[in-house]
Structure 1
Amino acid sequence: MAIEKILLAVGPGDAERTEELASTLVDLAAPLDADVVLAHVFTDDEYDSTLNNLNVSGDDVTSDEVARRHATIRTISRELDDVGVDFTVRGAIGPHGEQIVGLAEDEDADLVIVGGRKRSPTGKAVFGSTAQEVMLSAPCPVTFVRGE
Protein backbone atom coordinates (compact mmCIF):
# COMPACT_ATOMS: atom_id res chain seq x y z
CA MET A 1 0.00 0.00 0.00
CA ALA A 2 1.39 3.35 -1.04
CA ILE A 3 1.13 6.26 1.38
CA GLU A 4 -0.29 9.19 -0.54
CA LYS A 5 -2.07 11.09 2.23
CA ILE A 6 -1.04 11.54 5.86
CA LEU A 7 -3.25 12.98 8.58
CA LEU A 8 -1.49 14.44 11.61
CA ALA A 9 -4.05 14.98 14.36
CA VAL A 10 -3.28 17.16 17.37
CA GLY A 11 -5.21 18.25 20.41
CA PRO A 12 -4.69 20.23 23.59
CA GLY A 13 -2.08 17.87 25.06
CA ASP A 14 0.25 17.98 22.10
CA ALA A 15 1.94 21.34 22.67
CA GLU A 16 4.91 19.67 24.39
CA ARG A 17 5.24 17.12 21.55
CA THR A 18 5.18 19.57 18.66
CA GLU A 19 8.82 19.06 17.69
CA GLU A 20 8.55 15.25 17.74
CA LEU A 21 5.27 15.29 15.78
CA ALA A 22 6.63 17.67 13.14
CA SER A 23 9.85 15.68 12.78
CA THR A 24 7.99 12.38 12.37
CA LEU A 25 5.65 13.93 9.83
CA VAL A 26 8.50 15.40 7.78
CA ASP A 27 10.44 12.11 7.89
CA LEU A 28 7.41 10.25 6.52
CA ALA A 29 5.83 12.77 4.16
CA ALA A 30 8.80 14.44 2.46
CA PRO A 31 10.39 11.35 0.82
CA LEU A 32 6.96 10.15 -0.38
CA ASP A 33 5.77 13.58 -1.55
CA ALA A 34 2.58 12.72 0.33
CA ASP A 35 -0.38 15.04 0.75
CA VAL A 36 -0.51 16.22 4.36
CA VAL A 37 -3.53 17.22 6.41
CA LEU A 38 -2.90 18.90 9.76
CA ALA A 39 -5.93 18.55 11.99
CA HIS A 40 -6.72 20.05 15.35
CA VAL A 41 -9.57 18.40 17.23
CA PHE A 42 -11.38 20.37 19.92
CA THR A 43 -14.01 19.26 22.41
CA ASP A 44 -16.92 21.70 22.62
CA ASP A 45 -15.41 23.32 25.74
CA GLU A 46 -11.92 23.53 24.20
CA TYR A 47 -13.38 25.14 21.08
CA ASP A 48 -15.32 27.72 23.07
CA SER A 49 -12.22 28.50 25.13
CA THR A 50 -10.09 28.86 21.98
CA LEU A 51 -12.67 31.20 20.39
CA ASN A 52 -12.56 33.27 23.58
CA ASN A 53 -8.75 33.33 23.57
CA LEU A 54 -8.75 34.41 19.92
CA ASN A 55 -11.39 37.04 20.74
CA VAL A 56 -13.72 35.89 17.95
CA SER A 57 -17.18 34.36 17.81
CA GLY A 58 -18.10 31.09 16.16
CA ASP A 59 -20.03 33.10 13.56
CA ASP A 60 -16.84 34.88 12.48
CA VAL A 61 -14.65 31.85 11.73
CA THR A 62 -14.84 28.19 10.73
CA SER A 63 -13.33 25.35 12.74
CA ASP A 64 -10.68 25.05 10.01
CA GLU A 65 -9.72 28.70 10.54
CA VAL A 66 -9.62 28.28 14.33
CA ALA A 67 -7.33 25.27 13.84
CA ARG A 68 -5.06 27.33 11.53
CA ARG A 69 -4.74 29.98 14.24
CA HIS A 70 -3.93 27.51 17.03
CA ALA A 71 -0.32 27.67 18.28
CA THR A 72 0.40 23.95 17.84
CA ILE A 73 -0.75 23.97 14.21
CA ARG A 74 1.14 27.22 13.51
CA THR A 75 4.35 25.72 14.89
CA ILE A 76 4.03 22.53 12.84
CA SER A 77 3.05 24.58 9.77
CA ARG A 78 6.28 26.58 10.01
CA GLU A 79 8.29 23.34 10.19
CA LEU A 80 6.54 22.02 7.07
CA ASP A 81 7.01 25.33 5.23
CA ASP A 82 10.73 25.27 6.08
CA VAL A 83 11.19 21.93 4.29
CA GLY A 84 8.72 22.55 1.47
CA VAL A 85 5.99 20.09 2.47
CA ASP A 86 2.56 21.26 1.29
CA PHE A 87 -0.39 20.79 3.62
CA THR A 88 -3.98 21.69 4.35
CA VAL A 89 -5.47 22.38 7.78
CA ARG A 90 -8.71 20.96 9.16
CA GLY A 91 -10.48 21.65 12.42
CA ALA A 92 -13.04 19.37 14.05
CA ILE A 93 -15.22 19.67 17.12
CA GLY A 94 -16.29 16.72 19.24
CA PRO A 95 -14.79 13.75 21.07
CA HIS A 96 -11.11 13.55 20.11
CA GLY A 97 -10.85 9.90 19.07
CA GLU A 98 -14.14 9.84 17.21
CA GLN A 99 -13.31 13.04 15.31
CA ILE A 100 -9.80 11.87 14.36
CA VAL A 101 -11.19 8.61 12.96
CA GLY A 102 -13.87 10.59 11.10
CA LEU A 103 -11.28 12.93 9.61
CA ALA A 104 -9.16 9.96 8.52
CA GLU A 105 -12.20 8.53 6.75
CA ASP A 106 -13.27 11.87 5.23
CA GLU A 107 -9.75 12.62 3.99
CA ASP A 108 -9.19 9.04 2.78
CA ALA A 109 -5.92 9.03 4.75
CA ASP A 110 -3.39 6.26 4.19
CA LEU A 111 -1.71 6.96 7.55
CA VAL A 112 -2.68 8.79 10.74
CA ILE A 113 -0.12 10.24 13.13
CA VAL A 114 -1.16 10.92 16.74
CA GLY A 115 0.77 11.88 19.83
CA GLY A 116 0.45 10.76 23.39
CA ARG A 117 2.25 9.94 26.55
CA LYS A 118 3.13 6.70 28.20
CA ARG A 119 0.38 5.60 30.58
CA SER A 120 -0.01 2.71 32.93
CA PRO A 121 -2.64 0.09 32.09
CA THR A 122 -4.69 1.40 35.01
CA GLY A 123 -4.43 4.95 33.71
CA LYS A 124 -5.73 3.84 30.32
CA ALA A 125 -8.61 1.92 31.86
CA VAL A 126 -9.65 4.74 34.17
CA PHE A 127 -9.11 7.75 31.90
CA GLY A 128 -9.30 6.27 28.39
CA SER A 129 -6.85 6.94 25.63
CA THR A 130 -7.51 8.91 22.47
CA ALA A 131 -4.52 7.33 20.77
CA GLN A 132 -5.74 3.85 21.71
CA GLU A 133 -9.20 4.59 20.32
CA VAL A 134 -7.69 5.88 17.07
CA MET A 135 -5.38 2.87 16.74
CA LEU A 136 -8.29 0.48 17.20
CA SER A 137 -10.80 2.31 14.98
CA ALA A 138 -8.89 4.12 12.23
CA PRO A 139 -9.42 2.97 8.65
CA CYS A 140 -5.65 2.94 8.06
CA PRO A 141 -2.37 2.38 9.93
CA VAL A 142 -1.58 4.72 12.82
CA THR A 143 1.82 6.00 13.92
CA PHE A 144 2.01 6.89 17.60
CA VAL A 145 4.52 9.58 18.64
CA ARG A 146 5.24 9.45 22.34
CA GLY A 147 6.23 12.63 24.14
CA GLU A 148 9.12 12.79 26.53
Structure 2
Amino acid sequence: MAIETILLAVGPGDADRLDRLAEETIDVAGPTGARVILGHVFTREEYDSALDNLDFDRTADEVTPDDVATRHSTVRELVATLDEAGIEYGIRGRVGDHGESIVNLAKNVDADRIVVGGRRRSPAGKAVFGSVAQEVMLSAPCPVTFVRADTK
Protein backbone atom coordinates (compact mmCIF):
# COMPACT_ATOMS: atom_id res chain seq x y z
CA MET A 1 0.00 0.00 0.00
CA ALA A 2 1.45 3.33 -1.04
CA ILE A 3 1.47 6.23 1.38
CA GLU A 4 0.18 9.29 -0.45
CA THR A 5 -1.45 11.31 2.34
CA ILE A 6 -0.40 11.66 5.97
CA LEU A 7 -2.61 13.42 8.50
CA LEU A 8 -0.47 15.08 11.16
CA ALA A 9 -2.96 15.84 13.94
CA VAL A 10 -1.95 18.58 16.36
CA GLY A 11 -3.72 20.16 19.26
CA PRO A 12 -3.29 22.36 22.29
CA GLY A 13 -1.11 19.89 24.19
CA ASP A 14 1.41 19.26 21.42
CA ALA A 15 3.75 22.24 21.82
CA ASP A 16 6.29 20.14 23.74
CA ARG A 17 6.49 17.46 21.05
CA LEU A 18 6.34 19.43 17.78
CA ASP A 19 9.92 18.53 16.85
CA ARG A 20 9.23 14.82 17.31
CA LEU A 21 5.93 15.03 15.43
CA ALA A 22 7.61 16.80 12.53
CA GLU A 23 10.57 14.40 12.52
CA GLU A 24 8.38 11.28 12.46
CA THR A 25 6.17 12.75 9.73
CA ILE A 26 9.10 13.85 7.55
CA ASP A 27 10.75 10.44 7.97
CA VAL A 28 7.76 8.89 6.18
CA ALA A 29 6.65 11.73 3.88
CA GLY A 30 10.12 12.43 2.48
CA PRO A 31 10.91 9.01 1.02
CA THR A 32 7.32 8.29 -0.07
CA GLY A 33 6.60 11.75 -1.51
CA ALA A 34 3.41 11.86 0.54
CA ARG A 35 1.45 15.06 1.05
CA VAL A 36 0.99 16.04 4.69
CA ILE A 37 -2.28 17.44 5.97
CA LEU A 38 -1.76 19.44 9.16
CA GLY A 39 -4.99 18.99 11.08
CA HIS A 40 -5.77 21.12 14.12
CA VAL A 41 -8.96 20.31 16.04
CA PHE A 42 -10.43 22.85 18.44
CA THR A 43 -13.19 22.42 20.97
CA ARG A 44 -15.75 25.23 20.72
CA GLU A 45 -14.10 26.98 23.69
CA GLU A 46 -10.59 26.59 22.21
CA TYR A 47 -11.84 27.92 18.88
CA ASP A 48 -13.47 31.00 20.42
CA SER A 49 -10.34 31.66 22.47
CA ALA A 50 -8.13 31.30 19.37
CA LEU A 51 -10.34 33.76 17.46
CA ASP A 52 -9.79 36.30 20.23
CA ASN A 53 -6.07 35.59 20.69
CA LEU A 54 -5.33 35.80 16.96
CA ASP A 55 -7.27 39.07 16.58
CA PHE A 56 -9.62 37.88 13.85
CA ASP A 57 -12.21 40.46 12.81
CA ARG A 58 -15.36 38.39 13.12
CA THR A 59 -17.46 41.16 11.55
CA ALA A 60 -15.46 41.58 8.34
CA ASP A 61 -15.60 38.09 6.85
CA GLU A 62 -16.58 34.65 7.91
CA VAL A 63 -13.62 33.05 9.64
CA THR A 64 -13.26 29.31 9.05
CA PRO A 65 -11.53 26.71 11.23
CA ASP A 66 -8.98 26.36 8.38
CA ASP A 67 -8.18 30.09 8.73
CA VAL A 68 -7.69 29.79 12.48
CA ALA A 69 -5.57 26.64 12.16
CA THR A 70 -3.37 28.34 9.55
CA ARG A 71 -2.52 31.18 11.93
CA HIS A 72 -2.10 29.02 15.03
CA SER A 73 1.48 29.00 16.38
CA THR A 74 1.86 25.21 16.46
CA VAL A 75 0.80 24.92 12.83
CA ARG A 76 3.04 27.81 11.74
CA GLU A 77 6.02 26.14 13.43
CA LEU A 78 5.28 22.85 11.68
CA VAL A 79 4.81 24.62 8.34
CA ALA A 80 8.29 26.14 8.64
CA THR A 81 9.78 22.72 9.33
CA LEU A 82 7.90 21.06 6.43
CA ASP A 83 8.91 23.89 4.08
CA GLU A 84 12.54 23.43 5.09
CA ALA A 85 12.29 19.70 4.36
CA GLY A 86 10.57 20.27 1.00
CA ILE A 87 7.38 18.46 2.03
CA GLU A 88 4.08 19.32 0.33
CA TYR A 89 1.31 20.10 2.83
CA GLY A 90 -2.19 21.43 3.35
CA ILE A 91 -3.88 22.76 6.49
CA ARG A 92 -7.29 21.81 7.85
CA GLY A 93 -9.01 23.03 10.98
CA ARG A 94 -12.02 21.47 12.65
CA VAL A 95 -14.22 22.31 15.63
CA GLY A 96 -15.52 19.44 17.71
CA ASP A 97 -14.47 16.46 19.78
CA HIS A 98 -10.73 15.96 19.28
CA GLY A 99 -10.63 12.21 18.68
CA GLU A 100 -13.77 11.93 16.59
CA SER A 101 -12.83 14.97 14.49
CA ILE A 102 -9.34 13.59 13.77
CA VAL A 103 -10.82 10.28 12.62
CA ASN A 104 -13.39 12.06 10.43
CA LEU A 105 -10.72 14.33 8.96
CA ALA A 106 -8.58 11.28 8.15
CA LYS A 107 -11.53 9.80 6.27
CA ASN A 108 -12.24 13.09 4.47
CA VAL A 109 -8.67 13.50 3.20
CA ASP A 110 -8.30 9.76 2.49
CA ALA A 111 -5.28 9.53 4.80
CA ASP A 112 -3.00 6.54 4.46
CA ARG A 113 -1.38 7.25 7.84
CA ILE A 114 -2.17 9.38 10.89
CA VAL A 115 0.54 10.83 13.12
CA VAL A 116 -0.76 11.83 16.54
CA GLY A 117 0.95 12.91 19.74
CA GLY A 118 0.19 12.05 23.31
CA ARG A 119 1.59 11.67 26.73
CA ARG A 120 2.06 8.70 28.97
CA ARG A 121 -1.00 8.02 31.11
CA SER A 122 -1.85 5.40 33.63
CA PRO A 123 -4.70 3.01 32.77
CA ALA A 124 -6.81 4.73 35.45
CA GLY A 125 -6.06 8.13 33.94
CA LYS A 126 -7.17 6.93 30.52
CA ALA A 127 -10.36 5.46 31.96
CA VAL A 128 -11.27 8.62 33.85
CA PHE A 129 -10.13 11.32 31.41
CA GLY A 130 -10.06 9.44 28.12
CA SER A 131 -7.27 9.64 25.59
CA VAL A 132 -7.51 11.34 22.21
CA ALA A 133 -4.65 9.23 20.86
CA GLN A 134 -6.28 6.03 22.11
CA GLU A 135 -9.61 6.96 20.48
CA VAL A 136 -7.82 7.73 17.20
CA MET A 137 -5.87 4.46 17.29
CA LEU A 138 -9.01 2.43 17.93
CA SER A 139 -11.21 4.19 15.34
CA ALA A 140 -8.85 5.29 12.57
CA PRO A 141 -9.41 4.17 8.99
CA CYS A 142 -5.65 3.70 8.51
CA PRO A 143 -2.47 2.96 10.51
CA VAL A 144 -1.60 5.41 13.29
CA THR A 145 1.85 6.48 14.45
CA PHE A 146 1.82 7.56 18.09
CA VAL A 147 4.49 10.11 19.08
CA ARG A 148 5.18 10.65 22.74
CA ALA A 149 6.93 13.72 24.09
CA ASP A 150 10.61 13.28 24.95
CA THR A 151 10.93 12.11 28.52
CA LYS A 152 14.11 13.76 29.72
Q: TM-score range by the shorter chain?
A: over 0.9
Shift in Å, 1:36 = 1.0
Identify the residue that residue 84 of structure 1 maps to in structure 2.
86
Amino acid at match of 1:21: L
> What residue in structure 2 maps to residue 42 of structure 1?
42
Work out the CA distance in 2 between the residues paired with 1:94 and 1:44: 7
For residues 90 and 136 of structure 1, what CA distance do their matches in structure 2 show?
22
Paired residue secondary structure (1:49): helix
From 64, 67, 71, the counterpart of 2:66: 64
- What is the identity, as a one-letter code, of the residue corresponding to 1:100? I
Q: Distance in 2 between matches of 1:63 and 1:23?
A: 25
**Partner letter of residue 52 of structure 1?**
D
Q: Which amino acid aligns with 1:104?
A: A
**Which residue number corresponds to residue 31 of structure 2?**
31
Give the whole-Å Cα distance in 2 for the aligned partners of 1:39 and 1:89. Answer: 6
CA distance in 2, matches of 1:84, 1:35: 10
Rounded to whole Å, the distance in 1 between the matches of 2:92 and 2:148 is 22
1:97 corresponds to which of 99, 103, 110 = 99
Q: TM-score, normalised by structure 2?
A: 0.95
Question: Pairwise CA RMSD of aligned residues?
Answer: 1.0
Q: 1:96-132, CA deviations, whole angstroms, 9 ceiling, x for partnerless residues?
A: 0000000000000000000000111011001000000
TM superposition shift of 1:60 = 3.9
Shift of 1:141: 0.4
How many Å separate the matches in 1 of 2:85 and 2:115? 19
Give 1:96-115 correspondences, 5 Å limit: 96-115=98-117
Flag structure 2 segments of 5+ consecutive residues without an equivalent.
Answer: none
Give the TM-score normalised by the residue count of structure 1.
0.97
What fraction of aligned residue pairs are identical, expressed as a percent? 61
CA distance in 2, matches of 1:133, 1:49: 25
